[in-house]
Amino acid sequence: MSSMTNALAALSSTQYYLFRFVSPVVIFLGTVGCIINLTVFTQKLLRKNTCSVYFIAYNIGNFIYIYAAPFYVTLNVGYSIDASIQYLVLCRLRFYTTVLLNCLCSFYLVMASIDRVLITSSNARTRQKSTLRMAYVCVIGGSIFWALFHSHVLFLTNIIQIIPNVFQCYSEQGIYRVFLSYYVLIKEILALVLLIMCGLRSVKNIRRSVRRIEDATGALSRTAAGGNSTHSTVARDRQLAFMLLMDILIYGLFCSTFAIFLLYQQLTQYNVKSPVQIQIESIVRNLAQFAASIPVSTSFYTNMIASKTFRNEVKKAFSWTRILCIQKH
């Protein structure tokens, strides 16, 4: 028992300092990153690209998710502020928003991955399936569908007591909690598998397109203007694909931790657990949630690393000339 108590003390200390000092920095960087991402992807050069539509939706979802999940846990754990355990309406609304946006962000990323597979295909008919109209239909239609699909969370979430004098806003115990845990677990695994499959397919398509461009370089060299335009469009598509691959890598690395925790939780759900063990699992759950918030906060910074086009668009978006022109208008 002493070893469990020591582990609890160490984890409690780690959790406290992590959410009091590190998490606010991550939230700030994520907020700034989402705002800059939205500014860049709505620029004229990129907003006509279908992948940018998914990236815009993804960053809007990330921005809201930051303040629905990481911000809430930071206030609760790091500063002992939690209004959701006092008001049931707030509890249900916050939990619903967290579950919904967790799903939507994965959905937008998967749709962007599928779009990159289509646009990097060597088949012209396959590439034609990637259209702005289809992107808007998928984003709007998918958002409405998942919002309705998760509406049960609004009615089956409650303020529960996990140990004496410790309350938590969570799903109701019993069959519903088992269902929700397995649902989130399957969703995380399925999203990760789809992202990996689409990512590998996009890499394969990009390699083929590079060889195709090299073979066509001689023919295009005689029409420099048209050749440069075609090359720049293909290069921009490739860089958007690389940005997406970076997002997939970060997503898989950090979001898998929460899926692993959920798997452990379901495997041990019928075990008799001491109050100390319950507290340890609660802390581990918070740490896994913190890890899952990393991808939504690092997207802008990985985009800066992965894409020269994105870096140039950031410079243009925040150039003094553009700022002065906006102020004049």
Distance from C-alpha of 236 to C-alpha of 4, rounded to nearest angstrom = 53
Distance from C-alpha of 28 to C-alpha of 297, rounded to nearest angstrom = 8
CA angle 10, 14, 18 (to 5 degrees): 175
The domain tally of the chain equals: 1
Q: What is the pLDDT along the chain (329 residues), one digit of tens a residue?
A: 578 888 888 999 999 999 999 999 999 999 999 999 999 988 877 778 898 999 999 999 999 999 999 999 999 999 989 888 889 999 999 999 999 999 999 999 999 999 989 988 888 888 889 999 999 999 999 999 999 999 999 999 999 887 788 888 988 888 898 898 889 889 988 998 999 899 889 888 887 776 666 555 555 454 444 455 555 566 667 777 788 888 888 988 888 888 888 888 888 888 888 888 888 888 999 999 899 889 989 989 998 988 887 888 888 877 754 554 445 55
Q: For the whole model, what pTM was predicted?
A: 0.86
Task: CATH number of the domain at 309, please.
Answer: 1.20.1070.10
Is 11 within a domain?
A: yes
Is 217 within a domain?
A: yes
Burial string for 141-176 (b: 16+ CB within 10 Å, else e) reads: ebbeebeeebeebeebbebbeeeeeeebbbbeeeee
Is 251 within a domain?
A: yes
Distance from C-alpha of 285 to C-alpha of 15, rounded to nearest angstrom = 11
Query: Please, are residues 240 and 52 in contact by the beta-carbon 8 Å criterion?
Result: yes
Is 328 within a domain?
A: no
Q: What is the structure's pLDDT at 82?
A: 87
Is 329 within a domain?
A: no
Is 53 within a domain?
A: yes
Is 215 within a domain?
A: yes
Q: What is the structure's pLDDT at 222?
A: 45
Strands 166-171 and 157-163: what pairing? antiparallel
Q: What is the structure's pLDDT at 210?
A: 67
Structural domain boundaries, residue 195: 2-320
Distance from C-alpha of 73 to C-alpha of 50, rounded to nearest angstrom = 34
Distance from C-alpha of 311 to C-alpha of 303, rounded to nearest angstrom = 8
Q: What is the structure's pLDDT at 135?
A: 96
Is 166 within a domain?
A: yes
Q: First CA to last CA across the chain, in angstroms?
A: 69
Distance from C-alpha of 79 to C-alpha of 53, rounded to nearest angstrom = 37
Query: Please, are residues 143 and 104 in contact by the beta-carbon 8 Å criterion?
Result: yes
Helix (H, G, I), strand (E, B), or coil: what is residue 161?
Answer: strand
Residue 10's nearest CA partner among 259, 251, 279 is: 279
Distance from C-alpha of 216 to C-alpha of 283, rounded to nearest angstrom = 57
